[in-house]
Structures are given as structure tokens and as C-alpha cells.
Chain A
Amino acid sequence: MPRVVFENITKRYGTLKVLANLNLTVEDGAFLVLLGPSGCGKTTLLNLLAGLIETTDGRILIGDRDVTDLDPRDRGLAMVFQSYALYPTMSAAGNLRFGLAAQKLSHAEIESRVAWAAKLLQIEALLDRKPSQLSGGQRQRVAIGRALVKRSGVLLFDEPLSNLDAKLRTEMRLEIKKLHAELGQTVVYVTHDQVEALTMATQIAVMNGGVIQQFGTPDEIYDEPANLFVARFIGAPAMNVFDATAKSGAGSAATAVLDGIGATVDLSGCRLAAMPPDGARLCIGLRPEHFLTGEPNGAASAAQFDLPIRDCEKTGNDATAYLEAGGQIVAMRIDPARARTLKAGDRLKARFPLDHINVFDAQTGRRL
């Protein structure tokens, strides 16, 4: 399976620069997710790869071929669209066959591929139906089937699950992941949903404002966000970010004093590239699920909190407490059983362990 390389990609619409000098490599067989909010440029990048729009500058390589000047049909790709884009006047089988006819394959070959894809996606019974007679999930499968029959090395997805309801989305996520494991194509997948990204990707490129904010595995993105944008974008509920001031203590130990609540956070457990100088402005990021609200077990903690509860949200198997912290709301994951005993106004004591602390420079937003 080919690898995909974006080299110094710039895309301009008149004076509006959507992408600027973007570089990205997708290893062969990888499942890359382009993740970001609307308008971040992820769909533009996908369309550039597909050849549906032209680059203003830069090169695109698929395998060893420079495809920058090639038409979509000559790039050896397949694509699954957000609204499926099935040809409405043809049956499902017709849709699967239509693109193959352009490749000049034998009739037998076409039929065998159609049968293979239908079996893989469990749509054999639907082959004779027209798209208008299929449900959303079924249409999605046919759209995926149309892409798979091409047996291309690279497979593109443009927010394919956004038109499905929540339950179907979960099913299809598993399907797509399974397909990738079986077929091993190089996949470039665009979405704004971080759950899809975290569950399906082998690599994620988080994008904002036309720039890749961070490129790495899902674990890297989650555990070590490279900047404040990534930190806040990934994770639900979102990471709590506090403004703080650095204080260098004795030796090389550093602490940060959080604005508003004045709590001190011990930074000795963090692997910082460099110690922040005394008085430097920082942003400290603490994820809701890492707070400890149970009985202390003697392990050292980086910070202690004693805050009043604003509200508790219970979702059956999980619960989140929202606490007032000097003008800011702090979210903490708590045990559902515990949540039932709490109400607004109660005070909750919590500790934060030494690791899992994210430190960012307050000015640049970059991770330290």
C-alpha cells in the first residue's frame, strides 16, 4: 500500500490562505485522521489529495508518483462522501459497477469484485435496490462498497458518519476499523468528532486554521497534547486549564500557583523540557478523570483542592462534578455512587497526582 506525502502544500482562494506550507506524511497502511473544527482546512486537504481542487503550491506524492498534476481518476484513489453521493437512478449493484467500467475490467472481474464487496459489507440482499429504497446506514455501506471495489491503495473518507444517528455511528466505526484491519489500505479520514479519531486512527493530525497543531498517535495526542488547542479539543469533558504563575523552589523543583484559587501545583513529576523561570506565566492543564476524590492512600499528590460543587451530572455509568474555582468551572470525574450523595453547595476535596500534569507556556500555548 502506498504512502502519501504532502509537501509544502499551500492553498489560496484569492487573498484567503486556507493552507500554508503544510507538510504531512502518511505511512503505508496507516489510518490517518484529519481532525479539527469546521473551517480548519481538513476537508480542503482531503480534496487536494483527491484531486478535486488544485494546489496553489506544493506537491502531493502517492507512493513514488507525483500526482499533483493528475486528474482524480488517474491518482488511484477511492473516496467515500459525507452524503454518500450514490447515483440515484442506479441500483446498489449498478453503483458498485459504474466506476469499475471506466477501468476497463472484464465483466467477470467486475462481477466478482461486486460480489466480494457486497459480502464484506453484508449488503448482498440490497444489491437490486435503488438508493431511495435504502436506509441511511445501508446507503453508507453501499458508498463504502463503491470505494472498496476499486481495490485502490489509498482510501479517502469525508466525514462519512456525520449523517448517521449515534447508534449507527458506533456500529459503522467498528465496521470501518475492521475493514481497515482486514484490507490494510492507506486511509485518510476527515472528521470533527474526536471519538472517531481516537478510536479508529493509527495516526491523528489535529488541525486548526490551516495548520497542523499536532501529529501523532491517539495516545500521544491524548496524553501529551502539544499545545493548548489540542489539549482543549481532545477529551470529553474537556481538560481543565488554569492560568498560573511559575515559582521556582529550592533546587530544581518548580511549582505553579494557580490564579483564582491560589492552589499550588507541584511540577516535579512533569518531564519539562526546561524549567520555567520564576514568575513566568503558565497554563496548567488537568484532565477531569485524573482527579482523585477517594480516601487518600498515602501517595504524594501534586495539588490539593477543596472546592464547592456547582452541579453534578450523572450519566448512569459515569458522573462528573462541576466545581467553582475562583471564577472558573472545574470538571472532575467522580464515582457515580459518590455523586448520588452530593448536591450543589457541598464542598468536595480532591487531589491531583504528580503525573498527568500538562504545562503550557501562557503566551505561546506550547507545551513545556
Chain B
Amino acid sequence: MRSELATNSVAAGSTAGNSAARARKRRFKGSSVAVFAFLCMCAAFVAIPLYVVIVTSFKPIEEITLGHIFALPVSWTITPWFKAWNTMCTGLSCDGIKSGFLTSIEILLPSLVLSIALSSVTGYALALWNVRWAGTFLFVLFICAFVPFQIIMIPLILVIANLGLFGTVWGIAIVHAILTMPLLTLIFRNFYKDIPRELINAAIMDSGGFWLIFRKIILPMSANIMVVVLILMITTVWNDYLVGLTFGGISAQPMTVILANAVVTSRGEVIHNVNMAAAIITAIPPLVVYFALGRFFVQGITAGAIKG
């Protein structure tokens, strides 16, 4: 037995059976197992639709009509995927959703650039520079972040149409930038407010101006918040339906619009496996971003929700 040093007390007669008792005592609380089981059930509830979609998209038509929605495909086929991409009928034409995929990308990139550029500079100005009406402006922005789209939809249509941008990807991108500006500005402003005042003052003393400080100091420090905002915006813009529907006209329809047209509003035969494949293709980009950068995503969602 070991003997350690420096205790003056009387040990009350230890027993060798202690270790055995301890091993048995590793309590497996019944309640703990029940909680875990419940969590697993709920996780299954959340995961099953994804499973169903994937599984359906790989089944040939014959298996679909059997109605075994949860069964794995007996004969896996990727024909539905090809059809969804190339030949699916979406309203007026039967070219698949590939054009929608491209359009969505063409909408996404300008939207990202416009909205992030606009909001980051605005947030920076409001956070770190003395502007007298900053407080009021922020309050107004706060309210604007909540107004429903429909209340500004028609005037925006008029403005975009007058700019000749109706039915173009740039028109949609501009609308996205407008709609997301309040929220993103608040997010950037809250982030930049935490930058120590002394840093900015030191830069000013070094004859740094507004734009120089932004380029050389603020932007390099913004990596974290940029990722968060990027993920938030990618999800919002790619998954958007209403703005694309309203401002895309016929020529600039994002993927969600084409998907909805094909599945929801089409008449005639409903081809489920093709529809599901199309749905997955539409859902993949944000999902990939989510699973790859999940941590930042969580930060992004809660940053978008808890402000002020």
C-alpha cells in the first residue's frame, strides 16, 4: 500500500472492498437514459425528412408507386437526378433546373458584395465615429429590420422597374441588399463597437482617415464577423423565394422559384423522384455551407436574432 506524507488524522479503518463498491456505483441513472432516448427520437424526427428525400430521389418510378416511403431503394438509379437537372418541365420550358442553379449563383454573388460592402461600412461609421444622429438612425434601422416585405414591395417594384433592372439579377441583388441592410448594419455595428476605442484613437493620431482605418485596421479584424454574415447571407439569398419571384420576372428566376413552378404549379403528372432530386439540388449549397462551417452558422443565426 502507498503511504503519503503529512497527514495527522486518524483514518477510520479503510476497507479494501471500497474500489469494488465504487465500480458498481457508476450510476446509470434511469432518467439519464430516458432523456437520451427522447433526444434521439426528436433527432430522428428532424432527420427523417432528409432521409426520405434522398431515398426517394434515387428510386425508379416503379418503386415510388409502391408507396414504401421509408424503404431504401431496391434498385438505385440516378436518372431522376439527370432529369431534374436537364429535362424537368418548369412551367413554360422543359430544360431542367440547371438554368435556375446558374441564375441563383448570378444573384448570390452581387447580393453578397452589395449587402456586405454597404452594411459593413455603415456599421463601422455608426459604431466608431461621432455622428450626431447615429442613435436615431440605429433605432429607425431596428424598426426597419422588422417591417414585412409586403409593405414596401410595390414601391420597390416601381423603383426597380424605373431603373430598368426589373427581371435582371442585379435588380434582385439590389433588393436583397436593401432588405438586409438594417439587420446586417446592426450586426456589424454591434461587432465593431467592441473594438477598443484606444486603437481607433491611436490610428487617428497616426493621421489615419475614415477609409484608411477601415481598410488597414477594421477589415483585417473582421474575419470572424464576416464569416458569420457570409453564412447568414448565403442562406438567406439562396433560399429566398419571394424576392426572386417578385423581381425576377421571367428571365431571372432563382432556383427556388423554378422548383416551386415545377412542382407546385405544374399540371399533369407529378414525377416524385425527379421532384425530390430537384429539391435536393436546390438545398445542397446552403447545407454544404452549414455542415462545413457549422460553428459559425450557429453564431450567425443567434447574432441575427439577438441584437440590441
A163 proximal to B (CB < 8 A): no
Contact B2 A23 (CB under 8 A): no
Nearest chain B CB to A207's CB is how many angstroms away? 10
Contact B18 A8 (CB under 8 A): yes
Contact B19 A57 (CB under 8 A): yes
Q: Mark B196-228, 1 if CB is under 8 A from A, else 0.
A: 000000000000000000000000000000000
Q: A21-B2, A227-B6 are in contact. Are A55 and B12 (CB under 8 A)?
A: no
Contact B6 A213 (CB under 8 A): yes
A124 proximal to B (CB < 8 A): no
Contact B4 A21 (CB under 8 A): yes
A21 and B6 CA atoms in complex are apart in Å by 12
Contact B22 A55 (CB under 8 A): yes
B284 proximal to A (CB < 8 A): no
Pick the contact of A69: B2, B7, B12, B25 (CB < 8 A). Answer: B25
A68 and B12 CA atoms in complex are apart in Å by 14
> A226 — nearest CB in chain B belongs to which residue?
B6
Contact B4 A215 (CB under 8 A): no
Nearest chain B CB to A49's CB is how many angstroms away? 15
Contact A5 B2 (CB under 8 A): no
Q: A5-B12, A7-B12, A25-B12 are in contact. Are A57 and B7 (CB under 8 A)?
A: no
Q: Mark A193-231, 1 if CB is under 8 A from B, else 0.
A: 000000000000000000111111000000000110000
Contact B9 A24 (CB under 8 A): yes
B residues near A24, Cβ cutoff 8 Å: 7, 9
Q: A20-B4, A21-B4, A211-B4 are in contact. Are A58 and B9 (CB under 8 A)?
A: no
A20 and B4 CA atoms in complex are apart in Å by 8
Nearest chain A CB to B179's CB is how many angstroms away? 38
The number of residues on chain B lying at the interface, defined by a beta carbon within 8 Å of a beta carbon of chain A, is 15
A123 proximal to B (CB < 8 A): no
Q: Mark B123-159, 1 if CB is under 8 A from A, else 0.
A: 0000000000000000000000000000000000000
Number of A-B contacts (CB under 8 A): 50
Contact B6 A25 (CB under 8 A): no
A58 and B5 CA atoms in complex are apart in Å by 17
Q: Mark A227-264, 1 if CB is under 8 A from B, else 0.
A: 10000000000000000000000000000000000000
> A227 — nearest CB in chain B belongs to which residue?
B6
Contact B11 A8 (CB under 8 A): yes
Pick the contact of B14: A59, A215, A227 (CB < 8 A). Answer: A59
> B25 — nearest CB in chain A belongs to which residue?
A69
Contact B9 A57 (CB under 8 A): no
A227 and B5 CA atoms in complex are apart in Å by 11
A25 and B18 CA atoms in complex are apart in Å by 18
Contact A211 B6 (CB under 8 A): yes
A61 proximal to B (CB < 8 A): yes
A59 and B18 CA atoms in complex are apart in Å by 8
B32 proximal to A (CB < 8 A): no
A273 and B12 CA atoms in complex are apart in Å by 28
B8 proximal to A (CB < 8 A): yes
List which B3-35 residues lie within 8 A (CB) of chain A: 4-12, 14, 18-19, 22, 25
Nearest chain A CB to B10's CB is how many angstroms away? 6
A212 and B10 CA atoms in complex are apart in Å by 13
Q: Mark A7-29, 1 if CB is under 8 A from B, else 0.
A: 11000000000001111110000
A355 and B18 CA atoms in complex are apart in Å by 46
Contact B8 A8 (CB under 8 A): no
Binding site secondary structure of chain A: strand
A55 and B25 CA atoms in complex are apart in Å by 10
Nearest chain B CB to A276's CB is how many angstroms away? 19
A residues near B2, Cβ cutoff 8 Å: 20-21
A132 proximal to B (CB < 8 A): no
B residues near A21, Cβ cutoff 8 Å: 2, 4
Contact B14 A7 (CB under 8 A): yes
Pick the contact of A23: B11, B18, B19, B22 (CB < 8 A). Answer: B11
A20 and B5 CA atoms in complex are apart in Å by 11
Contact A25 B10 (CB under 8 A): yes
Contact A57 B4 (CB under 8 A): no
A residues near B8, Cβ cutoff 8 Å: 214-216
A residues near B25, Cβ cutoff 8 Å: 54, 68-69
Contact A25 B14 (CB under 8 A): no
A56 proximal to B (CB < 8 A): yes
Nearest chain B CB to A302's CB is how many angstroms away? 27
Pick the contact of B6: A5, A58, A69, A214 (CB < 8 A). Answer: A214
Nearest chain B CB to A74's CB is how many angstroms away? 14
A residues near B6, Cβ cutoff 8 Å: 211-214, 226-227
Contact B22 A57 (CB under 8 A): yes
> A215 — nearest CB in chain B belongs to which residue?
B8
List which A33-86 residues lie within 8 A (CB) of chain B: 54-59, 61, 68-69
A23 and B4 CA atoms in complex are apart in Å by 10
A69 and B23 CA atoms in complex are apart in Å by 12
Contact A22 B18 (CB under 8 A): no
B residues near A212, Cβ cutoff 8 Å: 6-7
A215 and B6 CA atoms in complex are apart in Å by 8
> B4 — nearest CB in chain A belongs to which residue?
A21
Contact B7 A215 (CB under 8 A): yes
A residues near B19, Cβ cutoff 8 Å: 57
B residues near A366, Cβ cutoff 8 Å: 5
Among A56, A212, A366, find the residue whose CB has the most chain B CB atoms closer than 10 A. Answer: A212
Nearest chain B CB to A161's CB is how many angstroms away? 26
A55 and B12 CA atoms in complex are apart in Å by 17
A49 and B25 CA atoms in complex are apart in Å by 17
Contact A7 B11 (CB under 8 A): yes
User: A residues bordering B, Cβ < 8 Å?
Assistant: 5, 7-8, 20-25, 54-59, 61, 68-69, 211-216, 226-227, 366
A-B pairs, top 4 by smallest CB distance, nearest first, are A215-B8, A25-B9, A23-B11, A8-B14
* Interface CB pairs A-B, < 8 A, 29: A7-B11, A7-B14, A8-B11, A20-B2, A20-B4, A22-B4, A23-B7, A23-B10, A24-B7, A24-B9, A25-B10, A25-B12, A54-B25, A55-B22, A57-B18, A57-B22, A58-B18, A59-B18, A61-B12, A68-B25, A69-B25, A211-B4, A211-B5, A212-B6, A213-B6, A215-B7, A226-B6, A227-B6, A366-B5
Given contacts A5-B12, A20-B2, 6 further A-B contacts (CB under 8 A): A8-B18, A57-B19, A68-B25, A212-B7, A214-B6, A366-B5
